[in-house]
């Protein structure tokens, strides 16, 4: 039962353009969402998060949007840079007694120079 | 403090052998997590500690797996009688209460 889904395994975007990565979840108890970035042979690096009481959170080039009614969130990166090429994981947290992150399967983002 | 540290980075072992991994969390973090990641998947939760207490274990954690955090600081994850299906990246993360988790570089296990 995949509670966090990233339906696009890969995405290619031209340098300077906007990258949009999507994530859907099924568990309505999730109340905190995070995006992690992962380079090969390294652990995930925290990027940005959003609480369910908000619908948008911005940090520099990165913005996360949350649509609770649709159980959908997205990560926008603008402008995209070559160093953004990595695998991006969406993760969710929340629910009574649930202290663990539930991850999606990831989207490989490739920025084309 | 340079972040979460894991040792070793890579481990190749023969099937049936025991292996032990170590994780040193960020010093002020009271929560420590173990995850496992296989190719094409996101990290999957194995277990977590709050201080020295192991509060939750995934059903992925069979009897061959054991984790400890004896003094509420570093943690070890031991796999006994390794199987080829145990080959994966083992990730450790730490956090303070209600903050994002920070991951280590991981230990890549290959069972041959």
Quote helix, strand, coil % in chain B, to nearest 5.
5, 50, 45
The reply to whether A1 touches chain B by the CB within 8 Å rule is no
A53, A65 contact by CB (below 8 A): no
Contact A89 B42 (CB under 8 A): yes
Q: Which two tokens stand for residue B77?
A: 């994850």
- Chain A CA closest to residue B105: A43
Work out the mean pLDDT of chain A and round it to a whole number: 94
The reply to whether A89 touches chain B by the CB within 8 Å rule is yes
pLDDT for residue B96: 86
- Res. A94 pLDDT band, cuts 50 70 90: confident
pLDDT for residue B1: 54
Residue A65's Cβ-count burial label (10 Å; 0-12, 13-18, 19+) is middle
The reply to whether B25 touches chain A by the CB within 8 Å rule is no
B13, B109 contact by CB (below 8 A): yes
pLDDT tens digits, residue range B88-106? Answer: 999 999 998 777 899 999 9
């Amino acid at each position: 039962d995949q509670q966090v889904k990233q339906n696009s395994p890969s995405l290619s975007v031209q340098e300077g353009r906007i990258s949009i990565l999507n994530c859907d979840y099924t568990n309505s108890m999730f109340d905190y969402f995070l995006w992690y970035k992962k380079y090969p042979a390294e652990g995930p690096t925290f990027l940005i998060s959003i609480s369910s009481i908000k619908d948008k959170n911005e940090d520099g080039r990165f913005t996360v949007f949350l649509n609770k009614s649709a159980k959908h969130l997205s990560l926008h990166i603008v402008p995209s840079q070559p160093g953004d090429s990595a695998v991006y994981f969406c993760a969710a947290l929340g629910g009574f007694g649930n202290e663990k992150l539930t991850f999606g399967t990831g989207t490989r983002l490739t920025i084309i120079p | 403090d340079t972040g979460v540290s894991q040792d070793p980075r890579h481990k190749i072992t023969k099937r049936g052998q025991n292996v032990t991994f170590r994780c040193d969390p960020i010093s002020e973090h009271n929560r420590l997590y173990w995850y496992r990641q296989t190719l094409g998947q996101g990290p999957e939760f194995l277990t977590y500690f709050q201080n020295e207490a192991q509060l939750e274990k995934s059903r992925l954690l069979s009897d061959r797996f054991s984790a400890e955090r004896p003094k509420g600081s570093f943690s070890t994850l031991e796999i006994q009688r390794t199987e080829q299906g145990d080959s994966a990246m083992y990730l450790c993360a730490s956090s303070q209460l209600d903050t994002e988790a920070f991951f280590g570089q991981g230990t890549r296990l290959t069972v041959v």
